């Protein structure tokens, strides 16, 4: 009885061939027995499922006959998973539904997701703090990094000054060599970066004495970082090519600067708006007034109309946060609340008693 191959690959019955291939690659990478935590039985089952669904004709038969399907009629001894014939497998690559085995398995042996880039520099992350005011107006910071940087003696090439270059004798100038990879499915040939010239195709007659041919040395570097106005707390800035230098002239990694905004004692941020609170006296609520409000741009006089209620919010336009990557600014939102003195004066008490008597009368 046939298995539920769609369920094994974790795809819907209407999945495209590309979706099947992606699902197969992901699962084969996770369960390959040559990797730590691999599962040979699961790996075989995954290959069996893709062997059927990856072949349009066998998939059509499987979809037509369902659980009665027996791998295109079953097979005599020598046939592999679920009647799928591996007799044609060779080091030239074997077709799974038109897909080349070298292409399907390359990511398993290069870390997955993409082909390994020989000597590519590592990314670096640093954290910096700025004030609330600096967040609004933008600022600059100089960060000091101790990192692998391009060798000053050889400019990152790895060769001694004046040394000649010649074609690599191992790869004959191609930058890559072929090697055989043994798996439970057989042996296939894979192209890998040349270990002698590090994929460059050329070697120097003499290595740089400063970096010993690596093309980089550990250095302390000062890096100026421009922080745009309106940046969010915890947001990261990416500076391409300012991470660790790559080996043997390979591209450098990137620098990621994570910005932390220190809290303000009176102002808060809500999206592109700034918020604050203002305490008013009872008479200001009843009679209205103009009151000073501290904004990020200085103090402004805000009009409070007569009859204002505690808890109302007023908007001061254009005094908020600059919109990151866009024009304009947000607003300043002021929530008003009543200020009740803990120790009212005798005169204040007389006025309030007179007001209470007038309301009763």
Condensed to tens digits (0 to 9), the pLDDT of residues 147-185 reads: 999 999 998 888 998 899 899 998 988 888 888 877 666
State percent of the chain over pLDDT 90: 41
pTM: 0.59
Q: Give residue 185's pLDDT.
A: 65
> Residue 62 in contact with residue 55, Cβ under 8 Å?
no
Q: Which of 17-26, 85-94, 352-361 has the highest mean pLDDT?
A: 17-26
Instruction: Give the list of residues 6+ apart from residue 265 with CB closer than 8 angstroms, or none.
Output: none
Q: Which residue has the tokens 């000649």?
A: 164
Lay out the sheet containing 124-130: strands in order across: 124-130, 255-261, 236-239
> Residue 241 in contact with residue 112, Cβ under 8 Å?
no
Average pLDDT of the residues in 190-208: 86
**Residue 26 pLDDT > 90, yes or no?**
no
Q: Give residue 115's pLDDT.
A: 37
Compute the distance between CA of residue 83 and CA of residue 267 in angstroms, rounded to an integer: 71
Q: Give residue 35's pLDDT.
A: 67
List the beta bridge partners of residue 176: 193
Q: Give residue 2's pLDDT.
A: 58
Q: Give residue 295's pLDDT.
A: 96
Q: What is the DSSP string of 10-22?
A: T--TT--HHHHHH
> Residue 109 in contact with residue 181, Cβ under 8 Å?
yes
**Residue 72 pLDDT > 80, yes or no?**
no
Nearest Cα to 247, choosing from 343, 118, 81?
118
Coil/strand/helix, residue 201: coil
Q: For the chain, give the mean pLDDT.
A: 81
**Residue 294 pLDDT > 50, yes or no?**
yes
Looking at per-residue confidence, does 356 or 20 come out higher? 20
Q: Give residue 110's pLDDT.
A: 40
Structural domains present in the chain: 5-105 (1.10.287.110), 268-360 (2.60.260.20)
Q: Which residue has the tokens 């915890």?
A: 234
Compute the distance between CA of residue 217 and CA of residue 244 in angstroms, rounded to an integer: 10
Residues present in the chain in total: 361
**Residue 95 pLDDT > 80, yes or no?**
no
Q: What is the DSSP string of 128-175?
A: EEE-HHHHHH-EEEEEEEEEEEE-TTTTTS-BPTT--EEE-TTTTTSS
> Residue 285 in contact with residue 309, Cβ under 8 Å?
yes
Binned at pLDDT 50, 70 and 90, residue 248 comes out as confident
């Amino acid at each position: 009885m046939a298995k539920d191959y769609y369920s094994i690959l974790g795809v819907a019955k209407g999945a495209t061939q590309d979706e099947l291939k992606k699902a197969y690659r992901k699962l084969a990478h996770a369960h390959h027995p040559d990797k730590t935590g691999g599962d040979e039985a699961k790996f075989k089952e995954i290959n069996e499922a893709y062997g059927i669904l990856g072949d349009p004709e066998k998939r059509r038969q499987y979809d037509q006959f369902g659980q009665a399907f027996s791998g295109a009629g079953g097979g005599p001894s020598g046939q592999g998973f679920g009647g799928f014939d591996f007799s044609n497998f060779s080091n030239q690559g074997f077709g799974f539904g038109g897909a080349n085995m070298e292409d399907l398995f390359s990511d398993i042996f290069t870390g997955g997701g993409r082909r390994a880039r020989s000597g590519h520099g590592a990314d670096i992350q640093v954290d910096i703090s700025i004030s609330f005011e600096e967040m609004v107006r933008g600022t600059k910071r100089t960060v000091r990094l101790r990192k692998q940087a391009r060798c000053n003696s050889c400019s990152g090439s790895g060769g001694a000054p004046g040394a000649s270059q010649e074609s690599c004798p191992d790869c004959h100038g191609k930058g890559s060599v072929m090697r055989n990879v043994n798996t439970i499915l057989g042996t296939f040939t894979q192209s890998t970066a040349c270990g002698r010239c590090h994929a460059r195709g050329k070697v120097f007659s003499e290595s740089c004495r400063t970096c010993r041919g690596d093309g980089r040395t550990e250095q302390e570097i000062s890096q100026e970082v421009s922080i745009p106005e309106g940046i969010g707390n915890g947001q990261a800035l990416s500076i391409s090519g300012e991470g660790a230098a790559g080996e043997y002239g390979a591209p450098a990694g990137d620098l990621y600067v994570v910005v932390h905004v220190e809290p303000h004692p009176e102002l808060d941020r809500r999206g592109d708006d700034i918020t604050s609170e203002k305490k008013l006296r009872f008479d200001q609520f009843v009679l209205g007034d103009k009151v000073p409000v501290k904004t990020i741009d200085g103090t402004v006089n805000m009009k409070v109309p007569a009859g204002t209620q505690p808890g109302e919010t007023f908007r001061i336009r254009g005094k908020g946060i600059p919109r990151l990557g866009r024009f304009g600014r947000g607003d300043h939102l002021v929530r008003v609340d009543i200020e009740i003195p803990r120790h009212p004066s005798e005169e204040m008490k007389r006025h309030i008693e007179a007001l209470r008597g007038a309301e009763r009368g």
